[in-house]
Amino acid sequence: MSFIKKTLRILRLIFINKYLIVFSVFFVYVLFLDDHNLITRWKMDTKIVELKNEYQYYKKEIEDNKKKLNDLQHDDEYLEKFAREKYLMKKADEEIFIIK
């Protein structure tokens, strides 16, 4: 009997305490019901991190491509190497063997 009485007393204190009730309602509202709830904010934060990583990736790709373009425009040896590897071009007296 004493366990049941203690349990009832604890439940009564919990449900009578108006501050706990208000806090619980506020917590449920903020967590689930609000337009800017915590779940949506967490999803948006992860999306922001993904987009920042993607931005850094493309920024690096742009720098690499600018360097390649500069090399292609100013370095004849690099241009010849690029044409041979990418487009399989050759000189008139050469033969190309493609191994897969």
Q: Please name the residues in contact with 32: beta carbons below 8 A apart, sequence gap of 6 or more.
A: 39
Domain spans of the chain, in order of start: 1-34, 36-100
| Phi, psi for 83 (deg, rounded to 5) | -65, -40
Determine contact, residues 30/37, Cβ cutoff 8 Å. yes
Angle between helices 76-87 and 38-74 (to 10 degrees): 120
Q: Which tens digit of pLDDT belongs to each residue from 29-82?
A: 888 887 888 888 899 999 999 999 999 999 999 999 999 999 999 999 999 888
Token pair recorded at residue 64? 């690499």
Which amino acid belongs to residue 12?
A: R
Q: Does the reported pTM lie above 0.95? A: no
